[in-house]
Amino acid sequence: MLRRGSAGSNTAADHIALVDAAIGALPPGFRRRLMITVDGAGASHDLIARLDKLAARPGYQVIYSAGWMLGEREKAALRLVPEQAWQIAIDGRGEVRERRADDACADSRCAHRACWIEEAHVTELTGLLREGPDGDRLRGWPAAMRIFVRRERPHPGAQLTLFEAEGGWRYSLWVTNRPAATKGWLGQNAYIDAAHRVQARVEDAIRTGKDTGLGHFPSFDYQVNGAWLTASMTGQILLAWLKLLALDGDLARAEPKTLRRVLHAAARLVRGGRRRRLKIQASWPWAEAITAAWQRIDALPQAP
Ligand SMILES: [Zn+2]
């Protein structure tokens, strides 16, 4: 959504319009079960209320996960979390995020606790904030809203706040309406954490979007930049579908810069025998990937 340079990053009305537009862009059959992730700028009363309203419609399931600021209230709660309440976090593949300690023993598959450093932990802060000695400190927020936190060992040399330096952890917080009664692995803290981290893919798309033109608007004219944004987003969407439907391996995860090698392949369109053939030089490094991609696209059913 193109906005004036003077627009604020926390304008809830814009967030709500954007969420509505994003849902409207989905085929109707895919609008009933949604997971909506938002970064920290989205944790406003108005947006959360809107998401709650969407979730309350009969026949719809909407789970949201929105970044949350680490304020004094949250810091106070964090200091009260007992060590055993922290659960180890998993990565997107369901694997535990840990690494060998610098002074680990020689057996790289040992079971010594001191030889492994757990990279990240997750816990829920809802109880401490809602039912602490000071009463409900999340008063005014929907009762269904729960608050979670992940702590990670910061990268060496990372700038830490005083609070982070205290315990040697960096914290990220988020809120979700996923019900506490959710059964099975979907309700476990490690899953709730992994589910929130899909937001990182959005951040990636914004970062790599700069390579498809989001990074430099060409004009002082709002309308011209609007057209530019549309073209740039169209490029991003086409790349996303290309990766999803036609590419695999490294190319399916590649960033726009790398995909250029596929898109800018030299080829010749040859007509003959009432057919058109695209001839790619066999020695071109991605010739096989391009051919396979074409065959996959060709095999897709026609859109209705
Ligand atoms: Zn060991």
Distance 93 CA to ligand 1 centre (A): 25
Distance 189 CA to ligand 1 centre (A): 28
Distance 235 CA to ligand 1 centre (A): 50
Q: What is the pLDDT of residues 51-74, one digit of tens each?
A: 999 999 999 999 999 999 999 999
Beta strand extents in the chain (DSSP E only): 33-38, 61-68, 87-88, 98-100, 116-118, 120-124, 146-152, 170-176, 267-272, 275-280
Distance 117 CA to ligand 1 centre (A): 11
Distance 102 CA to ligand 1 centre (A): 11
Q: Percentage helix, strand, coil, to 5, in the chain?
A: 45, 20, 40
What's the pLDDT band for 110 if we cut at 50, 70, 90? Answer: confident
pLDDT at 21: 95
What's the pLDDT band for 41 if we cut at 50, 70, 90? Answer: confident
Residue 10 pLDDT more than 90? Answer: no
Give the distance, in angstroms, between the CA of residue 101 and the centroid of all CA atoms in the same chain. Answer: 29
| Cα angle for residues 64, 148, 71 (degrees, 5° grid) | 105
pLDDT at 54: 94
| β-bridge partners, 146 | 176
User: Which whole number is the average pLDDT over 39-53?
Assistant: 90
The CA R_g of the chain, rounded to the nearest whole Å, is: 24
Residue 304 pLDDT more than 90? Answer: no
Distance 94 CA to ligand 1 centre (A): 23
Q: What is the pLDDT of residues 251-303, one digit of tens each?
A: 998 999 889 888 888 889 999 889 998 888 888 888 888 999 989 999 999 87
Distance 104 CA to ligand 1 centre (A): 5
Ramachandran region, residue 246 (left: φ > 0; alpha: ψ -120 to 50; beta: rest): alpha
> Of 241, 239, 276, which is closest to residue 261 (Cα–Cα)?
239
Distance 157 CA to ligand 1 centre (A): 26
Distance 271 CA to ligand 1 centre (A): 66
Distance 118 CA to ligand 1 centre (A): 14
Distance 232 CA to ligand 1 centre (A): 51
Which protein residues have their CB within 5 A of the ion that is ligand 1?
105, 110, 112, 115
> Of 77, 115, 90, 57, which is closest to residue 196 (Cα–Cα)?
90
Q: What is the pLDDT of residues 207-236, one digit of tens each?
A: 888 888 888 899 999 999 999 999 999 999
Q: What is the mean pLDDT of the chain?
A: 90
Give me the helix-helix angle, 222-245 and 287-299, nearest 10°: 90
pLDDT at 266: 86
Distance 109 CA to ligand 1 centre (A): 7
Residue 192 pLDDT more than 80? Answer: yes
Residue 103 pLDDT more than 80? Answer: yes
Distance 107 CA to ligand 1 centre (A): 6
Distance 99 CA to ligand 1 centre (A): 12
Distance 116 CA to ligand 1 centre (A): 8
Distance 205 CA to ligand 1 centre (A): 40
Distance 40 CA to ligand 1 centre (A): 39
Q: What is the pLDDT of residues 112-168, one digit of tens each?
A: 888 888 778 999 999 999 998 888 999 999 999 999 999 998 877 888 899 988 888
Distance 246 CA to ligand 1 centre (A): 44
pLDDT at 261: 81
Q: Residues with Cβ < 8 Å from 219, sequence gap 6 or more?
A: 225, 228
What's the pLDDT band for 37 if we cut at 50, 70, 90? Answer: very high
Q: What share of the chain in percent tops pLDDT 90?
A: 52
Distance 98 CA to ligand 1 centre (A): 14
pLDDT at 4: 85
Long-range contact pairs involving 286-291 (C-beta distance under 8 Å, separation at least 24): 286/251, 286/261, 286/262, 289/247, 289/249, 289/251, 289/262, 290/262, 290/265
pLDDT at 58: 95
